Amino acid sequence: MPRSAALEKKSSFKTWKMLIGSKWVSSQHSKTRTLLNPATGRVLAEVYEADKTDVNLAVENAKRAFEDGRWSKKSPGERALALLRLADKIEQNLKPLATLEMQNVGKPIKLAQDGDIPFAVDNLRFFGAAARFLEGRSSQEYATGYASVIQREPVGVVGLIAPWNYPFMMAVWKAAPALAAGNTVVLKPSEWTPLTTLELGRLALEAGIPEGVLNIVTGGEETGVSLTQHPDVRMISFTGDTETGKKIMTQTAPTLKKCHMELGGKAPFIVFEDADLEAAVQGAVVGAFVNTGQDCTAATRFYVQQPVLKKFLEAFVKKVSQIRVGDPSHLQTDMGPLVSEEQRQRVEGFVKRALKEGAKALFGGNRPREFESGFFFQPTVLAEAKQSSEIVQKEVFGPVVVVLPFKDEPQAIQLGNDVSYGLAASLWTRDVQRAQRVSSALQFGTVWINDHLPLTSEMPHGGFKQSGFGKDLSLYALEEYTQIKHVMTETTGSVRKGWHYTVYGEP
Ligand code: NAD
């Protein structure tokens, strides 16, 4: 029996409840969803599907918690302490959290335990510290006789909606700055991967985050719609597909909510002829197949300068053939399954259509034969696709890349920018002037030079163009969850101010 199946047997099957206030509750209508382990296809757990009544209850709790000041009126230092305690709790529970994430998402255990969860701990510690550094521009007398002060205030009840690819990390990327700034939260994880987010709720209560400050509702689109339409939710922070982002903009329009949108990507990976080819090939495999390619910043469009194309392709395909696909519970596994059968069929559809349109598969393109169960797909390298084709233009969100040639620097920039997305890009060269020129010309929120993927808590992450707006990570993210108030105090005490005559009376 593979280890993940054994673990699954051990962890007793249960229906996971939602966190509203300080209580673990069922949906009022008791509707549930069954979750499968993507590596085995076997039943893993059952979760509730929150409907409008459940969402209303969660928002009511969050609103009460916001308005009575049990969190928003705490000093930044007190909020920081609670977040730092939560980070410690997560660290103490790293192994079980990583195992749960591996079982629910199908991601390799080494990525969950040495990547996602430790990074989430670091993010929380960063935002805990950052809570004490919120600032505005200077305060002074800008008009004679009036003192102006800038206050940065929490927005209120914030709805957080997360995707399935990095469930725990995305929950923390959103909840940590929202809470650090003093907001209260209703968090909705993806319907497919809610388990570690529910664990986050349990640890938050243990860490002393007051009841009602962090509420977690599970469910899919219906739950998300209720949250985005609720009049008492003042902001929606969303990470997910660009098309869902557009729907949410429409859903939030009638109540004019502040929106923060972290959407899809289609990252170019541009290799100039003077690049360190060995480093570029290594970076290409890591950048493309991380998390089975289910990563919004994953390298998906490879543009390689003509003179080194053949050499790059030979080395790249050889390395891709060495990726160890398999049971995600094994430390040696590089690539696990896709998150669901639905996602596998989606990815498969993209590959079939690309091949039909004339692209060539240099590696992969199919379901691997060695797995009887689980939602596996081979790492896939395509070539000879048209720049205008679907496989180059649309986000696949799976282990599929396209490699295309380019002639010179202007063409590399033009091809790199020629998509509707603008999340992340990388370029590979030893020429420092070219690196500077090309990184300036690329229309992406993050540009890496001679690497692809790394992010840090201190630096912003977010898209240009249809990859969205607003930043995750960094002080910029903290500011997203605040609103600025100008407080103006009359300082002379005189009854009749110098300017009053413009409205009433004589000068
Ligand atoms: P998705 O858009 O299908 O779902 C995301 C979340 O939105 C889920 O919780 C879902 O239940 C909810 N949802 C769906 N319809 C909704 C609606 N009408 N109203 C409110 N909520 C709704 O995305 P996904 O498939 O879970 O995740 C993959 C996508 O996420 C990819 O496009 C990927 O690029 C993107 N992503 C972006 C970033 C980033 O930082 N920019 C990070 C991770 C993932």
- For a pocket test of ligand 1, which of 123, 190, 465 has the largest count of ligand atoms closer than 8 A to its C-beta? 190
Residue 93, token pair as written in the block:
């529970």
Task: Provide mean pLDDT across the span 442-457.
Answer: 98
User: Which atom of ligand 1 lies at the shortest distance from residue 248's CA?
Assistant: 19
Angle at 88 (CA atoms; ends 333, 72), nearest 5 degrees: 120
Residue nearest to atom 31 of ligand 1 (CA): 241
C-alpha 45 – ligand 1 centre gap (Å): 21
CA of 133 to the centre of ligand 1 (A): 31
Residues near 251 by Cβ (< 8 Å), separated by ≥ 6? 225, 228, 229
**8-state DSSP, 290:** G
**CB contact set of 202 (below 8 Å; sequence gap of 6+):** 19
Give me 175's structure tokens. Answer: 């909840």
Q: What is the pLDDT of residue 14?
A: 80
Predicted confidence at residue 141, as pLDDT, reads 92
Q: Determine the distance separating the centroid of ligand 1 and the alpha carbon of 170, expressed in angstroms.
A: 11
Task: Kindly state the tokens that stand for 125.
Answer: 């510690």
Compute the average pLDDT of residues 386-404: 98
| Whole-number pLDDT of residue 397 | 98
Q: Could you tell which of 250, 294, 296, 461 is best to mutate to test the pocket of ligand 1, judged by most ligand atoms within 8 Å of the CB?
A: 296
The answer to whether the CB of 423 falls within 8 A of the CB of 467 is yes
Q: Looking at the DSSP assignment, which residues form a beta bridge with residue 36? A: 43
Give pLDDT, residue 10. Answer: 45
Cα(262) to ligand 1 centroid in Å equals: 9
CB neighbour list of residue 399: distance below 8 Å, 6 or more residues apart = 288, 289, 292, 293, 335, 347, 364, 377, 378, 379, 380
Catalytic residue among 8, 101, 296, 348: 296
Q: Residue 64: which region, alpha, beta or left (left: phi > 0; alpha: psi -120 to 50)?
A: alpha
pLDDT category of residue 1 using cuts at 50, 70 and 90:
very low
Cα separation, 397 vs 264, in Å, equals 9
pLDDT in tens, 466-486: 999 999 999 999 999 999 999
Cα 242 to averaged position of ligand 1 atoms, centre (Å):
8
Task: Dump the DSSP string for 399-464.
Answer: SEEEEEEE-SHHHHHHHHH-SS--SEEEEE-S-HHHHHHHHHHS--SEEEES------TTS-B--S
Which residues does ligand 1 sit against, CB inside 6 Å? 161-165, 188, 190-191, 220-221, 224-225, 228, 239-241, 244, 247-248, 251, 262-265, 296, 395, 397, 423, 463, 467-468, 472
R_g over Cα of the chain: 25
Helix H, strand E, coil C: the string for 244-276 is HHHHHHHHHHHHCCEEEEECCCCEEEEECCCCC
The three-point CA angle 415-421-423 to 5° equals 100
Ligand 1, residue 461: give the atom nearest the CA: 40
| CA proximity to 13, closest of 215, 195, 216, 220 | 195
Residues 35-59 have pLDDT tens digits of 999 999 999 999 999 999 999 999 9
Give the residue, out of 47, 172, 244, with the most ligand 1 atoms within 8 A of its beta carbon, to mutate for a pocket test: 244
Angle at alpha carbon of residue 445, lines to 440 and 451, rounded to 5°: 75
Chain centre distance of CA 31: 27
Q: What domains can be seen in the chain, in order of their start residue?
A: 23-263+467-486 (3.40.605.10), 267-449 (3.40.309.10)
Task: Please give the number of the atom of ligand 1 that sits closest to the Cα of 163.
Answer: 26
Which atom of ligand 1 has the smallest separation from the CA of 262? Answer: 41
Residue 6: predicted pLDDT: 42
Nearest CA to ligand 1 atom 8: 190
% of the chain surpassing 90 pLDDT: 95
Whose Cα sits closest to atom 32 in ligand 1? Answer: 241
- In this structure, what DSSP letter does residue 182 have? T
Contact 367, 266 (CB under 8 A): no
Q: How confident is the model at residue 8 (pLDDT cuts 50, 70, 90)?
A: very low
pLDDT at 36: 97
**Confidence label for 315 from pLDDT (cuts 50, 70 and 90):** very high
CA of 29 to the centre of ligand 1 (A): 25
Q: Please check whether residue 66 is in contact with residue 157, taking contact to mean a CB–CB distance below 8 angstroms.
A: yes
Q: Are 230 and 61 in contact (CB under 8 A)?
A: no
Catalytic residue among 49, 60, 262, 480: 262
Q: Is 259 an annotated catalytic residue? A: no
Question: Residue 87 Cα, ligand 1 centroid: separation in angstroms?
Answer: 25
**Ligand 1 atom closest to 264 (CA):** 34
- Please give the single-letter amino acid code of residue 270: I
Reported as a pLDDT band with limits 50, 70 and 90, residue 136 is confident
* Burial per residue of 255-284, b for 16 or more beta-carbon CB atoms within 10 angstroms, e otherwise: eebbbbbbbbbbbbbbbbeebebeebbebb
Give, for ligand 1, the residue of 48, 195, 239, 297 to mutate: max count of ligand atoms closer than 8 Å to Cβ.
239
495: which residues sit within 8 A by CB, 6+ positions away? none
Q: Is the pLDDT of residue 452 over 60?
A: yes
Residue 298 has pLDDT above 60, yes or no: yes
Length of the chain counted residue by residue: 507
Helix (H) or strand (E) holding 145: none
**pLDDT tens, 412-444?**
999 999 999 999 999 999 999 999 999 999 999
pLDDT tops 70 at residue 3: no
Q: How far is CA 29 from CA 48, 159, 170, 221, in A?
A: 9, 22, 28, 16
If you average pLDDT over residues 336-340, what whole number do you get? 98
Query: Could you identify the atom of ligand 1 that is nearest to the CA of residue 173?
Result: 40
- Sorted by sequence, the CB contacts under 8 Å of residue 215 that are 6+ apart come out as 18, 19, 20, 21, 58, 59, 61, 62, 184, 185, 186, 187, 201
pLDDT at residue 12 tops 80: no
Distance 239 CA to ligand 1 centre (A): 5
The three-state secondary structure class of 322 is coil
CA of 393 relative to ligand 1 center, distance in Å:
19
Here the tokens at position 300 are 């998906």
Mutate to test the pocket of ligand 1, among 105, 123, 160, 161 (most ligand atoms within 8 A of CB): 161
Q: How are beta strands 424-428 and 446-449 bridged, if at all?
A: parallel
Mean per-residue pLDDT over the chain, rounded? 96
Q: pLDDT tens digit string along 155-166? A: 999 999 999 999
Assess contact for 406 and 303: CB atoms under 8 A.
yes
Predicted local distance difference test score (pLDDT) of residue 13: 66
Query: Please, are residues 423 and 444 in contact by the beta-carbon 8 Å criterion?
Result: yes
State how far the Cα of 181 lies from the Cα of 152, in Å rounded to an integer. Answer: 9
pLDDT of 457 over the 80 cut: yes
Residue keyed to tokens 């180059």: 392
Q: Can you tell me which atom of ligand 1 is nearest the CA of 343?
A: 25
* pTM score: 0.96
Ligand 1, atom 23, residue with closest C-alpha = 240
Joined tokens for residue 3: 């280890």
Q: How far is the CA of 493 from the centre of ligand 1 (A)?
A: 54
Q: Report CA 109 to chain centroid distance, whole Å.
A: 19
Q: Are 297 and 454 in contact (CB under 8 A)?
A: no
For ligand 1, atom 14, which residue shows the shortest CA distance?
Answer: 221
Residue 411 has pLDDT above 50, yes or no: yes
Nearest C-alpha neighbor of 68 from the set 157, 175, 170: 157
